[in-house]
Chains A and B, each alone.
Chain A
Amino acid sequence: MPMNLPILPTAIVGSYAMPGWLERLKTDYFARRISRHDLDEIYDAAVKAAIKDQEIAGLDVITDGELRRDNMVDYFAERLPGVQIDRSSKKFYYDFYDSAVMSKLPMASMGLVQDFTFLHTYTDHVAKFCVTGPHCLTKRIRNQFYPSEEAFAMDIARVMNLELKALVKAGATMIQIDEPYYSGFPEDLAWGVNVLNVLVEGVDAKIAVHICYGNRYGKPSWEGSYRYLFPRILKAKVQQLTLEFARRGGEDLDLFKEFNAPFELGLGVIDVKNTDIETPDMVAEHIRKALEVMPAERIHILTDCGCFHLARDVTFAKMKAMVEGTKIVRRELGK
């Protein structure tokens, strides 16, 4: 998977700032004031703008900003074959649908390739496609069929594995799996890593796993230490762990050294739960701290989590600070 990336490549974790006007239009769609066709055209325009913003800010890896998604669950719940959705169950677009699985999930396409292809078409940068992981989905989709959460998650992984392979076939070289609920349910990691490995089995792309402490409504859902990940996470057949450090501080960086973790580090250097704009120097300082435990060749520079809840101007300014801060360190490294 050769990727033409500079050292310390920069990216956002996944979502870009959700504009207020798009929120209103999404809600208008639920109120049947605009058609699906119009909404899709609006999405296309919004995603193009998000891509352009990332490029102008100077990011090296580009996402579609996840602007087509109402939240991190429903986009997938709607596409997972066999999941039943009560479409009357939400009033505001960001709410979760009441969704349930009543029978075994059939193996079928989820149709994610179309959205990746759109991203790929509109940027010549390396494109990253993000998917919500099976563990997270089992926490929001009611299980009325499988004997355990683990069994349910395992079947989601099997269905999504096909989808990830289809994404690779369509040109995806970097895929990020989002599993924020690990932090709320650390005991699940005992089986969560096995599920993760089924999900990525045979997927020929760089796989990153993003694990944060939640970002629902732009607020953390839990607090604690990443220590709970170790040593179980070491068995994960992924290339990169993407973790939040800007908001929480860098204490847990030492875990990578302590456990000799083989992964790349997706280093969160931008706090997405705070509208204050970081300075490039602050970003550079975060990176220097990470360089104490890991070589630059294994570090990607990222936001702590998605920028969904930040205003667009704030997001853009934070991305610029991230890029400038990274350049400072690259210069220090002579790269």
Chain B
Amino acid sequence: MILKLNHLKVKAAAATQSVIEAVYALVEEGLIDQGQFARLQVELDWIQYKSNFREAVTATQGYNAMGLPAPIMDLHIDTRQVVLETLHDDLLCALHCAEPGVEPDAGRLPLEEFQSLRSSIVWIFNKFFWRHLLAWEAATGKGYDRALPGGSSDGHNPLAIADDVAEFLDLLCSLRAKSQLPAEVNLLEIGVGSGSRCAQWLDLFQQLDQQRGTGLYRRVCFYMGDFSQDTLNKAKPNVAKHIEQCRFIQLDAINPIKSLTHLRHRILQVHLTNVYDNLPDEEVVRRDGKLYFVQVRAYVPQKAVSSIGGKYGIPPELFRDRVYHMLETGFDDFGGPAHGVPFWQELWAAVRLEERLVQLEDLPEFPFPEGLDAGKLEDILQDAPTDFRFHLSSGALESFIRTLPLLHPSGYLQVFDIFVTDMAQYRTGFFGPGKLDGSLLNWVNGALLKEVAQREGYNVNFRPFKYRANTHTSILYTTRRE
């Protein structure tokens, strides 16, 4: 058995002894045989998200591409939530659930079949959250920003914006000195929120432009892009003062070039804050020289089905249909948001993901996100740890790849988000998925973006977000590669 302690916490360390004892007891009792014991990998994680998709103890079985059991088995123990007194039974239960051929036991109501995390129903929940954000906020009595670490978006930080404006104006002046300043100075923000960042940015730019006498404010075209027309409409009044400079574009963050093809090679700055961490993702495990794809199946524990169903008058046999119906149509079944939102919130809190690992035997044919292929992944993994689990950051990668063609030869992409900047970092903790209010949250595989970017002609650089203490946020920015 291999025991991996992925995070240094006193409580995590304290749990180690109990885990070993509990596993040993199962071996003694004949509930784990020698073969199982030999291939067991126990991972002790500290899951920082209070709300997430894992039971305190879960087991993951490996399979080959034919669907037959492969000789790998992982046990994941969340040392933050584990109850040491019930560890023996929890381990037994988790191992039983992961056994090949065992149908979902009576303790779980699956919401789907095993599949890629990217196509899981949890992303439909995520979309549903953004569509019904106002209803969620009304029910909780606080805005989404309040759920963020620090209580507000880092994108709105006035010092960060001031530094950015000054650097950007310097860039414009240097281009003008070389007679290369375009007639229109295009900027794009993807995911505009309330429009507050754009408003602050333009305020400061206008002031600095006046101070320096550069006369460039009138050339600025600030494209505000968001998938939600409602969000754009709500942002408009906040940028009213600069309305001549603003353009409002409905776009998909995963494919910005699709809506902005007329701006190919014409945007001098693209900015995103906390967008990549909320885009669909997938995970891969590297073990014993082989790659395994993490398949997931969302479920609701039967206990929650009973309690939530009882409260809202939903029989267990109709529970799943009611969940899907709500995600498709909203809260009509509940007579409106007043009853529907509490159901949704309790349901979302109860949703879990079980996992299995499926060997990637035919890597060249795997449907990689755009920008990645088998050859590139193998190159990237050459210097990576031999035994670890990492994000493909599929949505973020596709967004990134489909944003770069928008950049002017002197333009750059700037992303405020939570990044894993080195593949080895994945061995030091848990990086998602977690839940943030009604949405999903994943750290972004910045190391992978960095490698992919090189083949696209860009260097990806990271710098700490120095404007807030104790933050995990860092700033990704691109520079042209020669």
Contact = CB atoms under 8 A, between A and B. Distances in A.
A223 interface: yes
A214 interface: yes
B320 interface: no
Contacts of A213: 409
A36 B375 CA distance: 21
B108 interface: no
Interface in A160-216: 213-214, 216
A218 B180 contact: no
Nearest to A221: B409
Contact of B482 (A24, A96, A220): A96
A244 to B, nearest CB: 12
Contact of A219 (B373, B375, B409, B454): B409
Contact of B454 (A92, A218, A223): A92
Contacts of B33: none
Nearest to A186: B179
Interface string A276-314: 100000000000000000000000000000000000000
B265 A222 contact: no
A302 to B, nearest CB: 20
Contact of B182 (A223, A273, A274): A223
B457 A217 contact: yes
A2 interface: no
Contacts of A217: 455-458, 481
Contacts of B457: 216-219
Nearest to A275: B405
Contacts of B146: none
Q: Which of A24, A219, A220, A276 has the most CB of B within 10 A?
A: A219
Contacts, number: 41
A224 B265 CA distance: 12
Interface in B57-113: none
Contacts of A273: 264-265, 405
Interface string B364-379: 0000000001010000
Interface string B444-482: 000000000011111000000000000000000000111
B481 A223 contact: no
Given A20-B375, A24-B375, A96-B482, A220 B265 contact: yes
Contacts of A20: 373, 375
A213 B409 CA distance: 10
Contacts of A247: 265
B411 to A, nearest CB: 10
B482 A224 contact: no
Interface string A87-117: 0000010101000000000000000000000
B456 A222 contact: no
B117 to A, nearest CB: 27
A136 to B, nearest CB: 13
B408 interface: yes
A96 B482 CA distance: 8
Nearest to B378: A24
B408 A223 contact: yes
A219 B373 CA distance: 21
Interface in B340-377: 373, 375
A263 B217 CA distance: 41
Interface of A: 20, 24, 92, 94, 96, 213-214, 216-224, 247, 273-274, 276
15 contacts: A20-B373, A20-B375, A24-B375, A92-B454, A96-B482, A216-B482, A217-B456, A217-B458, A217-B481, A218-B457, A219-B405, A220-B409, A221-B409, A221-B480, A223-B180
Interface of B: 179-180, 182, 261, 264-265, 373, 375, 405, 407-409, 454-458, 480-482
Report, nearest first, the 10 A-B pairs whose CB atoms are least far apart.
A217-B457, A220-B409, A221-B409, A24-B375, A222-B409, A219-B457, A220-B265, A224-B180, A223-B180, A223-B409
